[in-house]
Amino acid sequence: MTEVSTKRGLVSGSNAGGAIRARLDDACRRMAAVGIEAPRLDARLLLALALKAPEDRFYGREDDLLDADASATFDQLVSRRCQREPVSRIVGRRGFWTLDLELNEASLDPRPDSETLIEAVLEHVTPRQAPLRALDLGTGTGCLLLSILAEYPNATGLGVDLSLACVALAGRNARRNRLESRAEFQNGDWMGDIHTIFDVIICNPPYIPAGQISTLAPEVAVHEPRLALDGGVDGLDCYRQLAVGFADVLAEHGLIFLEIGHDQQASVSKVMQQAGWRTVATRSDLAGHDRCLVLQIGNTGA
């Protein structure tokens, strides 16, 4: 029987690529076999990518048939996921806070844990109409800076990254989310090339002890850029560098919002205290782990 195209990637009158239901079931089995935690969700997202279709389009259409090209593309995508490449990296984008972000190989894939920093800023920095000047160190995708600009309509900001590829990526994400008029991005090593004072500093530095990186899930250990993970032998190298430079770029009554590892609250607070910073608050992520330190100038412990 002759195949008749019905929608992009779908056919009628042939089982050339198999039905959606069967292909999703097969993909789930393959991914579950290698330890992927949410194979059904991942399979649907990858099938949507193969068909260039919204993921929710499949409900009620499980008996529709894939054409041969879409079927082959889906197989390739599932094979990549079975190698533990994250779906966000395969798709090339990530939702973060209220933003839709492009990813690249040089950028850290933003995690929901990092949204804790945005929650902390919203709690401690008022009013929302304030003309804030924000600095994002190690900006990557630009996720933290752009999220703040989305919440504070009169804020402007600068994102700095050691990677030129990330600087270009963050600029594209600013345009993607219509925030380019209030965001700047530049190449640099922390605060070394900054000559402006900021009201708010946000930073998610590398903080994984070097010896622990290989023990992390393959999605992180293999597919995240090591430069964005490696915090040195004890995970604190970047915090030590940051602690001595913050004073040069932070306003007198400004605040620092610093992401930390789940077991680093005491050690990072000590590093900051020794450099003259006071921890005024600690905010936990959704799993209940300490994730964000709020700092200001001072010489007493929290």
pLDDT tens per residue, range 169-204: 999 999 999 999 999 999 999 998 899 999 999 999
Q: Are residues 39 and 140 in the same domain?
A: no
Q: State the residue for tokens 């239901």.
A: 21
- The total number of structural domains in the chain stands at 2
The structure's pTM equals 0.88
Can you give the residue range of the structural domain that contains 265? 94-297
pLDDT band at 5 (very low <50, low <70, confident <90, very high): very low
Assigned domain for 89 exists: no
DSSP 3-state of 301: coil
d(C-alpha 280, C-alpha 292), whole Å: 11
Q: Are residues 256 and 136 in the same domain?
A: yes
Q: Are residues 146 and 281 in the same domain?
A: yes
Q: Are residues 195 and 66 in the same domain?
A: no
DSSP 3-state of 257: strand
Can you give the pLDDT at residue 55?
67
Can you give the pLDDT at residue 295?
98
More confident residue, 5 or 21: 21
With a cut of 70, say whether residue 239 has pLDDT above it: yes
What is the average per-residue pLDDT within 207-232? 94
Q: Are residues 257 and 284 in the same domain?
A: yes
CB atoms within 10 A of CB 5: 10
Q: Are residues 136 and 270 in the same domain?
A: yes
What is the average per-residue pLDDT within 53-71? 82
Which residues face 136 on adjacent strands? 159, 202
Residue closest to 258 by CA, chosen among 213, 200, 191: 200
What is the average per-residue pLDDT within 214-232? 94
What is the average per-residue pLDDT within 48-65? 81
Kindly report the average pLDDT of the chain as a whole number: 91
Q: Are residues 129 and 20 in the same domain?
A: no
End residue of a domain, out of 63, 83, 103: 83
Q: Are residues 19 and 114 in the same domain?
A: no
Judge contact between 124 and 163, C-beta under 8 A.
no
Tens digits of per-residue pLDDT, 282-297? 999 999 999 999 999 9
d(C-alpha 142, C-alpha 151), whole Å: 14
End residue of a domain, out of 53, 83, 113: 83
- Neighbouring residues of 168: CB distance < 8 A, sequence distance ≥ 6: none
Which residues face 25 on adjacent strands? none
Can you give the pLDDT at residue 62?
82
The share of the chain scoring above pLDDT 90, in percent, equals 85
Residue closest to 6 by CA, chosen among 55, 74, 72, 53: 53
Residue closest to 120 by CA, chosen among 300, 298, 296: 296
CB atoms within 10 A of CB 263: 10
149: Cα separation from own chain's centroid? 16
pLDDT band at 154 (very low <50, low <70, confident <90, very high): very high
Assigned domain for 247 exists: yes
Query: Rounded to a whole number, what is the distance in angstroms from the first to the last CA of the chain?
Result: 75
With a cut of 90, say whether residue 298 has pLDDT above it: no
Q: Are residues 229 and 115 in the same domain?
A: yes
* Rounded alpha-carbon distances, angstroms, from residue 263 to 151, 173, 267: 29, 31, 8
d(C-alpha 62, C-alpha 47), whole Å: 12
The CATH number covering residue 28 comes to 1.10.8
Q: Are residues 64 and 134 in the same domain?
A: no
d(C-alpha 248, C-alpha 116), whole Å: 25
d(C-alpha 271, C-alpha 148), whole Å: 26
With a cut of 70, say whether residue 10 has pLDDT above it: no
The CATH number covering residue 137 comes to 3.40.50.150
Judge contact between 182 and 207, C-beta under 8 A.
no
Q: Which two tokens stand for residue 33?
A: 């076999």
Tens digits of per-residue pLDDT, 98-110? 999 999 999 999 9
Q: Are residues 152 and 272 in the same domain?
A: yes
